[in-house]
Amino acid sequence: MKKHSERRSWLIARRRIAGIYAFIVLGSALLILRLGYLQIAMASQFTTDVKAQNFDSLTIPAPRGQILDRQGAVLATNQPVFRIIYIRYPNDNAKIGGVAKRLAYPLGQSEAALIKEMTQTNSWNAYTTLVRQATPLQISYVEEHKQSLPGIEIIQTPERAYPMGSFAAHVIGYTGAIPANQAQAYQAQGYYPSAQVGLSGIEQQYESVLRGQNGVKRIPVNPAGVPLPGGTISQSPKTGNNVVLNLDGPLEKVAEQALVSRIAYLRGLGEHNVHSGAIVVMNVHTGAVLAMASYPSYNPNWWIGGISSANYQSYLNGNAGFNRAVSGLYMPGSTQKMLTALTALQNHTISPNLIVNDTGGLQIGTYYMRSWNQAGFGPIGLDEALEVSDDTYFYQVGLDMGHYNINNPPANISAWLNGPRVAALRSINAMGKQFGLTSLTGVDLPGEAPGYVTFANPPTLYDLPAAAIGQEEAYSPIGLATYIAAIANGGYRVQPQMVHEITSPTGRVLKVFKPHVIDKVKVNPAYLKIIQKGLEMATHGTLGTATYFFGSDPVNVAGKTGTAESGIPGRNNSVFVGYAPYNNPQIAIAAVIPNVTGEGFRAAAPMAQQVIDAYFKQQQKK
Amino acid sequence: MESIVKRNIRDLDYVLIAVMILISVISCIAVYTSTLGKANPNTGSASLGIPAHILYRQIAFEVLSYIVMFVVMLFDYRNLAKLRWYFYGGTLLLLVAVFGFHRVNGAHSWIPFPLLSFQPSELAKLVSIIWVADYMSRMNEREVPDYSFRGLLPIFLAFIVPFVLILKEPALGQALVLLAIMYSMLLVYVKKKQMRWMLAASAIFISLIVVAVAVVPNQTVNFLDHQHILKPYQTGRLISFIEPGYDPASSGWQVHQAEIAVGAGGVFGQGIGKGSQTNGSWVPFQWTDFIFSAIAEQLGFVGSSVLIMLFLIMLYRLIRVATTALDDFASYVIAGIVGMFAFQVFENIGMNLVVTPATGITLPFVSYGGSSLVVNFISIGIALSVSVRRRTLRFD
């Protein structure tokens, strides 16, 4: 062997090996450069990629705010519910079969049903709920077998609960899944597809207040979609704010019971057409709605977690979901007469001293228009006409508004029909608008229907006098309440207000709704006084139509009954509007029960009396 | 006369040992974090072959490897030259025998011994180095050395036989390592004239690749595909290298996810055990071929650069041994070992960084795998054996 120092071949190799090392250094530099490019220059890009693909965001639904009545009783709240959900992933279908097989028995569902649920139901949603209210056993099963149940998670969600059942159902409304046809509109407002939203009543009207802000939980996942430990709540859910109603719970209870029992009573007498009704009680000065009852009713709890078909049938039955107090329109009958009188007085088409000789009816052209009292009351003034609800008097007022002289009818009838008659109907409509009858009252509930005056087509000689006694109009109970409140308070049209204030989840007052006077009705206060007097006489006069109910009432109630043909032959809408006390009005009430046989006062007035008495008894206690 | 052990302790390359230990620590961290919680039936199929106690296995193999390394160091490396035919012949037999065993991950690369699946291709690299180094040093010893092409023929042959067998497994990456070894050994062996030929051939080869990949990539891929030069999955890997974003759901998935893992690491990394790409098994086989992406995600630019620097130091220490070795055989062996490690490190890290196409090459000393770890440490042991014996001559 040659000596080390003599290895000539190696001297060359040494240089070469240095060259190799130079290459190695160069290669390393290249790698570090590339590393720097990826990890420094491009880091934010890749961080974004990682966030997008490695994590699933689960929405933590925010608890909705509560709905409370005036006394603080909870009408709508939340209860925690454990759900078993399946989180969907793009490449996860292979595992679904195994998951379904494992879960079928513990969840009490068939494999096929589970697979369908996991793949098809609301397929646009990131996850689907397999069990809405998991039992402790189901929860422990899922927890213990989590490794073999990829995509299955247990989440705790707040769920709506209505502790008082159907109480004030139409006011509260209900929550449910977003209707398919509104999905886009809701998603634009940041709702996730399976969100529960207010679909009716206060739940709908104050959705933005009640909804709160959903939280987000980020859960790391692997490519197979298996959630890994170490999820973090990146945004805590914020509970929605509370809505405190003006609704007076005990009074509401009385109103609902009065309505239900009155309808039951009438049906007990064989009145099978009687199946619905509504009552509204309002503070005459503030517009605060103290009670609002509508029958038939429903239980908002039916809607939680999806309504069953049996409950849905009940909900549809008799249109139970319909809030008749706000959305129902009823012929007012004689409760129209105050408006008619005010319109005529204000337009100077009659004098406040008008005396009409009531002979039991009025011959208009070829028509004979009967008064309800066919014997006639003889010569009668305005306040007395209101007391006895004299039809003949108001036929005459109606004709006077149209400048129609029975003894000297206009030569050109057709010109009258299309001219003065229309103008008179329009003037009634215009006055109705001022009182919130033919306009929206602005109540803070969805679905309010504006009342209207019918302009009959073809026109007749008698439709104007018929309109004068409330046979040609249709008003909502909330409209009637606003109307009678304005008469009571000296002409102020207040906006009916369901909500008193909004409070934070901790109870701090965030906003108080001040009473809102929309307008002052343009009516001479002296005329209002006459009307008020007439209403007091109607409840206290010897011949008053409501004296039977209110004559000996400890509370001095002023009011007016109404009977209007309901469309079913021989059946009438029974209407009552009133306020109390007469001298110092506090509350206004409107009550309606349609399709009653005979004179309407039998139905609406007595239940109004119950409610008014209850209110003042309650006031005395305080 | 001092004992062999004492001399070994005195002359040990402590820098190299320190570097190796640091790399081993990084390896254990990376193997642990990239397999943590993945030994359950849902995150991986049985074919992935992740033993439940993978960290303990890796640590056990590390310990075994260090023992083997020191044992090898104690033996005189010159004995390797004497045993070269046994080594070489035996390894060829194993490379043939491997076809008799079941495929693992689609390749006949493994002989499943109890406790340890053995990969003969790992051994083939080292025994080829020993055989060729011996041939080269003998040629230098001849009175009339034959450095012509004729004289180089046995060298080519010594590499081509295992190359073809490994290519057949198929294990393209391992086969390419053989070529890299041959190239680096020839670089220090051939004379000026052949050197020119080699450099010229390399230049032409590299330009051809550049043209094929950069200028006519589609035709190249079609050609390789239709001529059955590459397997379809290899073609897929090549396309996804040429066109980033190609088929990210299958053939480009692994590389794409590795790149995301690296990039998400940022400057200082996500922290050990906190990489969501690594924890979520987003990079398939991360504990073997793509372990660098786990390190890059968790330790960031700083940690990854440190690892690259450690390899650089390791290779420098090896080269230092080669240039001061006692004889040609030792220098050629270490040149081969340097070529082997340098190519594997560059290719493996390169494919993690999408600089080089993905081939099945593990990161030496870092990736999970018992047989490659042992063989790699044997290589270091040989270098140490050379290292502790060179000074004897100087100071005696």
The b-or-e profile of A577-591 (16+ CB within 10 A means b, else e) is bbbbbbeebbbbbbb
Q: Could you tell me which residues come within 8 angstroms of residue B173 by beta carbon, excluding any fewer than 6 positions away?
A: B347, B359, B360, B361
H-helix or E-strand spanning residue A500: strand A499-503
For position B2, what pLDDT does the model report?
56
Query: A270 falls in which pLDDT band (50, 70, 90)?
Result: confident
B301 CA to chain A: closest CA distance, Å?
6
- What's the mean pLDDT when you consider all of chain B? 85
Report whether pLDDT(A90) > 60: no
Chain A hits for B264, CB-CB cut-off 8 Å, are 43, 46-47, 49-50
**Residue B386 sits at the chain A interface (C-beta within 8 Å):** no
Across A11-20, A326-335, A402-411, which has the greatest mean pLDDT?
A326-335
Chain A hits for B309, CB-CB cut-off 8 Å, are 28
Domains A61-235 and A252-621 agree in fold: no
For position B58, what pLDDT does the model report?
86
Q: CA-to-CA distance for B141 and B139, rounded, in angstroms? A: 5
Compare A173 and A98 and report the one with higher pLDDT.
Answer: A173
The structure tokens listed for B210 are 């550049």
Query: A92 falls in which pLDDT band (50, 70, 90)?
Result: low
- Give residue B284's domain range: 4-395
Q: Do A28 and B277 touch (CB under 8 A)?
A: no
**Residue A339 sits at the chain B interface (C-beta within 8 Å):** no
**Residue B309 sits at the chain A interface (C-beta within 8 Å):** yes
Report whether pLDDT(B61) > 50: yes
Report whether pLDDT(B140) > 90: no
Helical spans, DSSP H, in chain B? 4-11, 14-35, 54-74, 78-82, 84-97, 120-141, 149-168, 172-189, 192-210, 217-226, 232-242, 253-265, 276-279, 291-323, 328-352, 370-395
Chain B hits for A23, CB-CB cut-off 8 Å, are 342
Task: Give the number of domains in chain B.
Answer: 1
Averaged pLDDT for residues A566-585: 89
For position A1, what pLDDT does the model report?
46
For position B228, what pLDDT does the model report?
66
Chain B hits for A1, CB-CB cut-off 8 Å, are 141, 327
Query: A7 falls in which pLDDT band (50, 70, 90)?
Result: low
Averaged pLDDT for residues A161-171: 94
**Residue A96 sits at the chain B interface (C-beta within 8 Å):** no
For position A496, what pLDDT does the model report?
97
Report whether pLDDT(A421) > 70: yes
**Residue A9 sits at the chain B interface (C-beta within 8 Å):** yes
State whether residue B366 is helix, strand or coil: coil
Across A126-130, A223-227, B223-227, B231-235, which has the greatest mean pLDDT?
A126-130
pLDDT digits (tens, 9 = 90+) for A470-480: 999 999 999 99
pLDDT digits (tens, 9 = 90+) for A210-222: 999 988 888 787 7
* DSSP tag of B104: B
Q: CA-to-CA distance for A50 and A447, rounded, in angstroms? A: 48
Q: Which of A5, A12, A21 has the most B C-beta neighbours within 10 Å, making it the best mutation to test the interface with B?
A: A21
Averaged pLDDT for residues A461-478: 94
Q: Do B263 and A4 touch (CB under 8 A)?
A: no
- Complex prediction ipTM: 0.89
**Residue A29 sits at the chain B interface (C-beta within 8 Å):** no
* DSSP tag of A180: G
Query: A226 falls in which pLDDT band (50, 70, 90)?
Result: low
For position A358, what pLDDT does the model report?
93
Check: CB of residue A470 under 8 Å from CB of residue A216: no
**Residue A21 sits at the chain B interface (C-beta within 8 Å):** yes
Check: CB of residue A217 under 8 Å from CB of residue A232: yes
Query: End-to-end CA distance of chain A, in Å?
Result: 122
Compare B41 and B302 and report the one with higher pLDDT.
Answer: B302
pLDDT digits (tens, 9 = 90+) for B363-385: 999 998 888 899 999 999 999 99
A61-235 placed in CATH 3.90.1310.10: yes
**Residue A5 sits at the chain B interface (C-beta within 8 Å):** no
| Among B179, B164, B162, CA closest to B93 | B162
For position B391, what pLDDT does the model report?
59
Contact residues, A window 30-89, toward B, CB-based 8 Å cutoff: 30-32, 34-36, 38-40, 42-43, 45-47, 49-50, 53-55
Query: End-to-end CA distance of chain B, in Å?
Result: 11
Q: Do A228 and B311 touch (CB under 8 A)?
A: no
* CATH fold for domain A252-621: Beta-lactamase (3.40.710)
Identity of the residue in A31, A49, A221 whose CB atom sits nearest the CB atom of B260: A49
Q: Could you tell me which residues come within 8 angstroms of residue B349 by beta carbon, excluding any fewer than 6 positions away?
A: A31, B292, B308, B363
Query: B1 falls in which pLDDT band (50, 70, 90)?
Result: very low
Check: CB of residue A559 under 8 Å from CB of residue A576: yes
**Residue B290 sits at the chain A interface (C-beta within 8 Å):** no
Q: Which of A38, A228, A232 has the most B C-beta neighbours within 10 Å, making it the best mutation to test the interface with B?
A: A38
For position A589, what pLDDT does the model report?
97
Query: A22 falls in which pLDDT band (50, 70, 90)?
Result: very high
Identity of the residue in A12, A30, A221 whose CB atom sits nearest the CB atom of B280: A221
Q: Which of B38, B43, B321 has the most A C-beta neighbours within 10 Å, making it the best mutation to test the interface with A?
A: B43
Contact residues, B window 210-249, toward A, CB-based 8 Å cutoff: none
Query: What is the full DSSP assignment across A302-318?
Result: GGTTS--HHHHHHHHGG
For position B43, what pLDDT does the model report?
38
Burial class, B111, CB count within 10 angstroms (exposed 0-12 / middle 13-18 / buried 19+): middle
Q: CA-to-CA distance for B246 and B227, rounded, in angstroms? A: 22
Q: CA-to-CA distance for A312 and B177, rounded, in angstroms? A: 74
Count residue pairs from A and B with Cβ separation < 8 A: 148
Closest Cα in chain B to A151: B42
Domain ranges of chain A: 61-235, 252-621
B283 CA to chain A: closest CA distance, Å?
9
Percent of chain B with pLDDT over 70: 88
Q: Do B327 and A1 touch (CB under 8 A)?
A: yes
Check: CB of residue B375 under 8 Å from CB of residue B311: no
For position A61, what pLDDT does the model report?
81
